[in-house]
Amino acid sequence: MANRDQPIVPPPGKPFRLAEFDPENTSGTSKEAALALIPSLRLGINELQDLLYADRRYALLIVLQGIDTAGKDGTIKSVFQEVGPLGSSVANFGVPSAEEAAHDFLWRYHARAPEKGKVVIFNRSYYESVLVERVDSLVSKDVWKARYDTINEFERYLVAQQTVIAKFFLHISKGEQRERLQERVDNPKKRWKFREGDLQERAHWDAYQEAFEDMVGRCNTAAAPWHVVPADHKWYRDVVIAKAIIALLESLDLHYPKPVAGVEGTVVE
């Protein structure tokens, strides 16, 4: 039975069961309250991003994963609405090109990791190497099984290099996915997003849930914890993610650099 008081970050190092996480959970938050709060959270993220850039000690990597229609694009549009292109960018990862596929599986992701002072949002990520590649049997079981440890090592390395990693798994129910896919079919403005492959992937729902459980269970480390976000309600999803990013940035104790000596009191004619 889903527990509504589950922490958003499950205890690291333990097997993870999705059934314990209710995708409809809103922790008693009303839609009105969430919608009233979101604008100030967006401004808060923008201010902290400005500070991250001025401070220049840390990079922030945000990883978004979730089944088709879970709301990765919607999250980026909403949560980062106030953050301009100066300080942040989005890296979308689709089917690897021939060049990408010929390299080690982390190559294309490492190349897009953020520099200090910047925020990069991974819209899908190296976790696809243990999701679609596992579910669709694009690589053998031996290959994808070995990748969890490699991913943990990669994240530990990035964290040691002052990259802060915030990973969000957008958890939606099967019923909610049905409604969102149907909306894509029915709404002429969304129809372009619908691909027949979406239905084939939906047919693998259970295999994806298992792959998500292993992804969170095996790669939920102290260095780079997973946040499991109840995402059936978009407004609650945005509040959870925005608050987590703000808490993380606040925990870094960021500072504006000291002004050059003698600047204070200068009068500009």
Residues at the site binding ligand ADP, with contacts judged by CB under 6 A:
68, 93-96, 124, 128-129, 132-133, 138
Torsion (CA) 44, 242, 166, 203 in degrees, nearest 10: -160
Residue spans of alpha helices (H) in 58-122: 72-79, 98-102, 107-110
Measured from the CB of residue 173, what is the shortest distance to ligand ADP in angstroms? 19
List CB contacts of 22: < 8 A, sequence separation 6 or more: 2, 3, 4, 6, 230
Measured from the CB of residue 72, what is the shortest distance to ligand ADP in angstroms? 6
Closer to ligand ADP by Cβ: residue 124 or 218: 124
Closer to ligand ADP by Cβ: residue 93 or 107: 93
Measured from the CB of residue 151, what is the shortest distance to ligand ADP in angstroms? 13
Measured from the CB of residue 68, what is the shortest distance to ligand ADP in angstroms? 6
Q: Scan for tokens 């239905």, then name that residue.
A: 199
> How crowded is the C-beta side of 101, counted as CA atoms within 13 Å?
8
Closer to ligand ADP by Cβ: residue 53 or 93: 93
**Cβ atoms < 10 Å from Cβ of 202:** 16
Measured from the CB of residue 113, what is the shortest distance to ligand ADP in angstroms? 16
Distance CA 122, CA 80 (A): 13
Task: Give the DSSP H or E segment for 120.
Answer: strand 119-123
Measured from the CB of residue 163, what is the shortest distance to ligand ADP in angstroms? 21
Q: Scan for tokens 């200090």, then name that residue.
A: 116
Closer to ligand ADP by Cβ: residue 44 or 74: 74
Residue whose beta carbon is closest to ligand ADP: 128
Distance CA 177, CA 25 (A): 16
Closer to ligand ADP by Cβ: residue 189 or 258: 189
Closer to ligand ADP by Cβ: residue 108 or 156: 108
